[in-house]
Amino acid sequence: MSDNSGLLVTNNSATINAISHYLYQTIVSIQQQHPEWITPKYRSIPWHYPKYQSTLTNKFIKGFSNVKNQDALKLKVKNYLQIILTPEFINSARYNVLIAEIEKHIYPEISLVSSDKITNYQVSDLSTNGTKLVEPGIAILLLDVENLPLDPETEKILVDICNYPIQIKVAFANWRSMGKKDEEFHQRGYQLIHVPPGKDSADLKMATVGASIFLNYPKAKEVLVCSSDRGLTHLGTTLQSHGLTVYQVRKYKNQITVLNSQTGESKIYALSVPDIPTINQFIIQLQELIRAETAKIGQQWIKFSRISALYKETYKLNLKDVVATHFPSQHSRHIFINYPVYFAVHKTSEKSQTYVSIFNLFKPQKKN
């Protein structure tokens, strides 16, 4: 393919590492989106686990380090893909896109020319007056549910921001701890990806899926990365390098900030916030949540963290914000401590979680 096909690449560790990690991310993405494209022998392996990432990338690096020139490296890459991926994928248009991306790493001296050819190929002269019509594109939304709760009203703001329709929506969360949230997001048209508990788990999964968007969705033009974690900045840079417009969406209290990484323009949108309940209404709300959860799990003592999550889910308000309104400078759990007539609070040790139960049902006095 290149006049420099005899060029040694054995010492080009940066190229080999880049290709190896790119292949790994691609395989993880394919397994999550289209597991049927992974050969049965490798389909059940959880490739997204760190230990498998290390094993597979090291396998690639070792194999690629033994080749003597660029063409041999490309052939080695194809051999690995034919082992891991099914003939259905190998014979598809997506495989050609994948090879084209890999060639940009293998033959950097002609990547610019290749990009020009691809661009010219995608634009077709369909009108009689010579006007060129570009193929319509789509927008993709990636959401870290636990980091940035996105309600339908806020989602409408993002729909208006995009120049292309949002046709793919992917939500990342530890769904086993989210109650019935999975049903809600499924009904809203999201693809659900489960992530294990732990710091940065959702970000790592989101980065892996997002990095290969241009491969799995060649019509993608815009990507919304919805997470308040700034560790996903690299993902935005990667997507932008492939010609996609990236919107970094972050939420703070009653507003969201949308940064267009291509233009550098940042916009702030105010969100409607439910009215803060009175203290009497607040106590009734909390007792109703505790009673419902007690009936559900068959236990009198409910974790404070669970009550806080239920309140957010039910009333679209942070429990701590309501407490701060009525009791400035106090912690959230003080709503239960301040009203021992209605709530019982229990901790097994100083470092243990706080448990709450109903002591007496609240009955507001009727006015004459």
| DSSP sequence for 100-168 | HHHHHHH-GGGHHHHHHHHHHHH-EE-STT--EEPPP-EEEEEEETTTS---HHHHHHHHHH-SS-EEE
Type of residue found at 190 = Y
Task: Judge contact between 142 and 209, C-beta under 8 A.
Answer: yes
Q: Which CATH architecture has domain 279-358?
A: 2-Layer Sandwich (3.30)
Model pLDDT, residue 121: 30
Model pLDDT, residue 118: 33
CATH topology of domain 138-270: Rossmann fold (3.40.50)
pLDDT along the chain (368 residues), means of 10: 43 77 83 85 85 87 87 89 90 82 74 37 31 62 85 86 88 79 84 75 74 80 85 76 88 85 86 82 93 92 91 85 87 89 88 88 64
What residue spans define the domains of the chain? 13-123, 138-270, 279-358
Q: What is the rounded distance in angstroms from the CA atom of residue 292 to the CA atom of residue 253?
A: 28
Task: Judge contact between 357 and 290, C-beta under 8 A.
Answer: yes
Model pLDDT, residue 24: 85
Q: What is the rounded distance in angstroms from the CA atom of residue 225 to the CA atom of residue 147?
A: 12
Q: What is the rounded distance in angstroms from the CA atom of residue 70 to the CA atom of residue 9?
A: 7
What Rg, from alpha-carbon coordinates, does the chain have? Answer: 26
Q: What is the rounded distance in angstroms from the CA atom of residue 134 to the CA atom of residue 125?
A: 9
Model pLDDT, residue 10: 41
